[in-house]
């Protein structure tokens, strides 16, 4: 097996080659496809990506790299919590929308690949939850989201903003999503999200299924 | 062609036979399948369902019949707007969750069929929008959702509650959805949804994609 001078840089480069191939073919690519298409030796492909999953994981890392940079930048900023939460969702949404608009079919293909290998995408979702948790804690320190635990607020905010984070929703309703609506949704959260019962469910609760 | 005494009742009965067949096979059924399985003459099937789409449309009607009954009952009640909106979403969600829990694979199959024939499902979505519009108008008469047109409020509320109305979300996140969270979401809407800019987006807007 060849020794590889800078394996991280090589993996990144190979992931981008794999993505170019996905785009050209309109289908997922295997390690064998990557070797055949790039002329890279199979030994080198195996050294970079020991398991078949490792190649797709590297592609997912490249796909989400701009999102992670956005989340780090927003959370590291000195904005107040409401501004942070808006930027946290809006910047990633604008980027995803641009990616969708550039090639809806390719975007749909990546969604399908991600759904099929959800365990690989899961780590990114957990990282997004981690950053959102930070913003929620700051908001609660400012007095927002009273009478909710951080985890309750996290689950509710994820549900309420799901249209702006779900690739599947992007595929179905891209034309109905925009940053003006997202701003109203975040303003609504900061004005109204709280744990207290304010009467919508009535005094006699519906039985849960 | 046979004359059919009560065509609506016959269509309903045939739709339920088709649904039993979908459940048994785990796949969509055609008019030919329905005739072969039930022993109904092809002439009678053709009289009930002139086009292939008409059979699936009848199945969709039966699938959504309980939802339509719920929406009619809720909108016809004398509850205040916040209670109406909660019941509007919660009762249908509880029913869908029960349907999902009873047979997740069958539920997924119906989702797939519905996605593939979205133009048939579209009418139901428009009817739900019609009823939700009524509730929004009542809420606005009570002073809620200020500075939003009815259509703006409709779009925002549909986006915010989408987790509780989307069959696709049910398939992905059924275990995270419950009526307690939905009650908080509806309370949040009535406490916080408004058209005024309250600062989340900042003074310099992000460029839209």
CB contact under 8 A, B82 and A192: no
Render pLDDT for A4-46 as a digit per residue (tens, 0 to 9): 789 899 999 999 999 999 999 999 999 999 999 999 999 999 9
Give the pLDDT band (50/70/90) at residue B5.
confident
Mutant choice from B92, B108, B129, B184 vs A, greatest count of A C-beta within 10 A = B184
Which residues from chain B sit within 8 angstroms of residue A90, using beta carbons?
Answer: 201, 206
The arithmetic mean of pLDDT across residues A47-53, rounded, is 95
Quote the minimal CA–CA distance from A69 to chain B in Å: 17
Residue A144's Cα: distance from chain center in Å?
Answer: 25
CB contact under 8 A, A200 and B156: no
**Is residue A116 predicted with pLDDT exceeding 90?**
no
CB contact under 8 A, B201 and A160: no
Complex-level ipTM: 0.92
Give the pLDDT band (50/70/90) at residue B44.
very high
Dihedral of CA atoms B132, B137, B140, B145 in degrees, nearest 10, equals: 40
Which residues from chain B sit within 8 angstroms of residue A162, using beta carbons?
Answer: 162-163, 169
Q: Which long-range contacts (CB under 8 A, 24 or more apart) does A8-15 make?
A: A10/A48, A11/A48, A11/A49, A11/A58, A12/A58, A12/A62, A14/A38, A14/A40, A14/A45, A14/A48, A14/A49, A14/A55, A14/A58, A15/A55, A15/A58, A15/A59, A15/A61, A15/A62
Eight-class DSSP state of B200: T
Mutant choice from A90, A95, A201, A204 vs B, greatest count of B C-beta within 10 A = A201
Render pLDDT for A134-184 as a digit per residue (tens, 0 to 9): 999 999 999 999 999 999 999 999 999 999 999 999 998 999 999 999 999
CB contact under 8 A, B86 and A201: yes
CB contact under 8 A, B169 and A162: yes
**Is residue A2 predicted with pLDDT exceeding 70?**
no
**Is residue A80 predicted with pLDDT exceeding 60?**
yes
**Is residue B16 predicted with pLDDT exceeding 60?**
yes
Which residues from chain B sit within 8 angstroms of residue A74, using beta carbons?
Answer: none
CB contact under 8 A, A177 and B191: no
CB contact under 8 A, A192 and B197: no
Which residues from chain A sit within 8 angstroms of residue B199, using beta carbons?
Answer: 82-83, 187
The closest of B206, B173, B38, B30 to B97, measured between CA atoms, is B173
Task: Please say whether the beta carbons of A178 and A101 come within 8 A.
Answer: no
Render pLDDT for B130-164 as a digit per residue (tens, 0 to 9): 999 999 999 999 999 999 999 999 999 999 999 99
Q: What is the per-residue DSSP string for B146-176?
A: TT--HHHHHHHHHHHTGGGT-HHHHHHHGGG
**Is residue B166 predicted with pLDDT exceeding 50?**
yes
pLDDT for res A84: 97
Place of tokens 């939905």: B182
**Is residue B209 predicted with pLDDT exceeding 80?**
no
Which residues from chain B sit within 8 angstroms of residue A95, using beta carbons?
Answer: 209
Rounded-to-integer distance, Cα B188 and Cα A193, Å? 5
């Amino acid at each position: 097996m060849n020794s590889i001078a800078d394996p991280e840089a090589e993996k990144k480069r190979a992931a981008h080659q794999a993505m170019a191939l996905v785009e050209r073919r309109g289908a997922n690519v295997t390690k064998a496809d990557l070797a055949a298409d790039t002329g890279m030796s199979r030994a080198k492909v195996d050294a970079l990506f020991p398991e078949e999953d490792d190649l797709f994981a590297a592609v997912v890392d490249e796909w989400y790299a701009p999102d992670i940079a956005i989340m780090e930048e927003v959370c590291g900023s000195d904005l107040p919590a409401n501004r942070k939460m808006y930027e946290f969702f809006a910047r990633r949404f604008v980027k995803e929308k641009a990616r969708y608009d550039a090639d809806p079919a390719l975007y749909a293909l990546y969604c399908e690949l991600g759904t099929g290998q959800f365990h690989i995408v899961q780590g990114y979702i957990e990282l997004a939850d981690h950053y959102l948790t930070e913003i929620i804690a700051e908001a609660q320190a400012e007095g927002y989201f009273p009478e909710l635990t951080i985890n309750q607020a996290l689950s509710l905010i994820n549900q309420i903003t799901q249209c702006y984070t779900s690739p599947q929703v992007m595929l179905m309703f891209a034309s109905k999503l925009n940053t003006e609506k997202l701003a109203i949704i975040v303003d609504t959260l900061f004005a109204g999200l709280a744990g207290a019962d304010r009467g919508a469910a009535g005094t006699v609760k519906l039985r849960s299924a």
